[in-house]
């Protein structure tokens, strides 16, 4: 499983990927808290096209955390293959789920805890069976890969589908379907990973004294990366403002990882020399992560805790149903879009702020 840079590179990439997941998972919580504070103050919301979040310090703190996480992620891609770094993004889902239950009052039930465990196990399996990418040691070899007809076709499909989602599906379904904006972030994100990989190679060449600054490819990759990240930030803000964090984060991870796997397989030919057991292991690990994230999300509103487990061993169901109804009255419908019920969302935000100030 050694990366292109050997075992030291593997451990450096692994450590950077873990740090990246921690910072990115925390950034979702800070951004959401900032957006909820804007709702309480009656400001124009990101989901309605507003940009008042630019004046909210909590949002900027979240952006700073995401910037640190993305920088660590950037460095991780320079030291390790994309198929080693990307699956560890599942840990950001776990960090976000744990922190949201603490700071956003989003309950994590038994299903969610099992989902977190499955996601961690799936990530471990994917790391063990990570495919080895082809050697890309210079910008010249990177340029040759970018000229590959398969990658060009993939990039065109990503751009066309993103434009359709932004200008056709967005105005019609963006407020009611979480997939619209998250698909935009995921598709564009797959291209940003390619830019990050190329810039990592450029930085390595620059540190070795090569005249990288005179080569246009490095600057082109930098401009493309800035554009891709800007688009991701904009539409991720829209998704977070309209839908619950526990809904956006796992779906974004699954779609983003799938897009990166496809892009890496086409651009770096990572799967070309893999043996069958590693292929099965990679696919199985990814499906395990998907199953874990499904449990984390699909049963989020089910008031099922460890205290209710003994009730399943009893023959009478009356107490069980009464307990579920009682707990259900205290549980919010977290998967509904926030914008249609804006007044209720602001009221709950006010309560969260009071609780946050009393801590």
Helix (H, G, I), strand (E, B) or coil at 3: strand
Report the pLDDT value the prediction gives residue 214, as an integer from 0 to 100: 83
Report the pLDDT value the prediction gives residue 162, as an integer from 0 to 100: 92
Question: Which candidate, 24, 22, 50, places its Cα nearest to that of 35?
Answer: 50
Cβ within 8 Å of residue 322, ≥6 positions away = none
Report the pLDDT value the prediction gives residue 9, as an integer from 0 to 100: 67
DSSP element (H, E) containing 248: helix 245-267
Question: Which candidate, 2, 118, 34, places its Cα nearest to that of 349?
Answer: 34
Ranges under pLDDT 70 in the chain? 1-10, 41-54, 106-107, 131-135, 137, 246, 297, 300-359
Report the pLDDT value the prediction gives residue 227, as an integer from 0 to 100: 93
Question: Which candidate, 266, 95, 285, places its Cα nearest to that of 193?
Answer: 266
Residue 347 sits at the vertex; the CA angle it makes with 330 and 39, to the nearest 5 degrees, is 130
Report the pLDDT value the prediction gives residue 226, as an integer from 0 to 100: 92
Report the pLDDT value the prediction gives residue 316, as an integer from 0 to 100: 47
CA distance 215 to 105: 51
CA distance 133 to 13: 14
What's the alpha-carbon Rg for the chain, to the nearest Å?
22
Burial label for 233, CB within 10 Å (0-12, 13-18, 19+), is middle
Q: DSSP H helical segments within 104-178, as ranges?
A: 110-128, 139-146, 149-164, 170-173
Report the pLDDT value the prediction gives residue 157, as an integer from 0 to 100: 94
Distance, first Cα to last Cα, the chain: 46
Q: Are 140 and 211 in contact (CB under 8 A)?
A: no
């Amino acid at each position: 499983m050694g990366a292109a840079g050997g075992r030291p590179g593997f451990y450096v990439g692994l450590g950077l990927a873990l740090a990246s997941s921690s910072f990115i998972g925390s950034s979702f919580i800070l951004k959401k808290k900032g957006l909820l504070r804007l709702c309480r103050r009656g400001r124009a919301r990101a989901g309605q096209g507003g940009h008042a979040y630019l004046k909210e310090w909590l949002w900027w703190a979240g952006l700073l955390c995401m910037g640190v996480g993305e920088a660590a992620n950037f460095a991780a891609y320079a030291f390790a293959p994309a198929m080693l770094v990307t699956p560890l993004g599942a840990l950001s889902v776990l960090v976000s789920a744990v922190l949201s239950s603490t700071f956003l009052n989003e309950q994590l039930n038994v299903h969610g805890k099992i989902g977190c465990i499955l996601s961690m196990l799936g990530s471990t399996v994917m790391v063990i069976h990570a495919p080895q990418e082809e050697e890309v040691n210079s910008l010249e070899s990177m340029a040759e890969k970018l000229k590959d007809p398969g990658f060009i076709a993939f990039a065109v499909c990503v751009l066309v589908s993103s434009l359709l989602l932004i200008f056709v599906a967005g105005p019609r379904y963006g407020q009611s379907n979480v997939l619209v904006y998250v698909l935009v972030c995921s598709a564009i994100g797959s291209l940003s990973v390619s830019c990050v990989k190329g810039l990592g190679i450029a930085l390595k060449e620059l540190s070795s004294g090569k005249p990288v600054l005179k080569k246009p490819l490095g600057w082109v990759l930098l401009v493309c990366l800035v554009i891709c990240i800007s688009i991701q930030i904009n539409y991720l803000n829209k998704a977070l403002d309209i839908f619950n964090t526990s809904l956006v984060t796992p779906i974004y991870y699954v779609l983003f990882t799938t897009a990166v796997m496809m892009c890496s397989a086409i651009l770096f030919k990572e799967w070309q020399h893999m043996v069958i057991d590693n292929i099965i292991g990679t696919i199985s690990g990814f499906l395990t992560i998907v199953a874990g994230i499904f449990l984390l999300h699909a049963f989020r509103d089910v008031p099922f805790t460890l205290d209710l487990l003994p009730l399943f061993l009893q023959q009478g169901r009356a107490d069980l149903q009464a307990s579920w109804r009682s707990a259900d009255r205290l549980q919010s419908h977290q998967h509904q879009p926030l914008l249609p019920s804006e007044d209720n969302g602001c009221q709950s935000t006010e309560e969260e702020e009071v609780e946050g100030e009393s801590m």
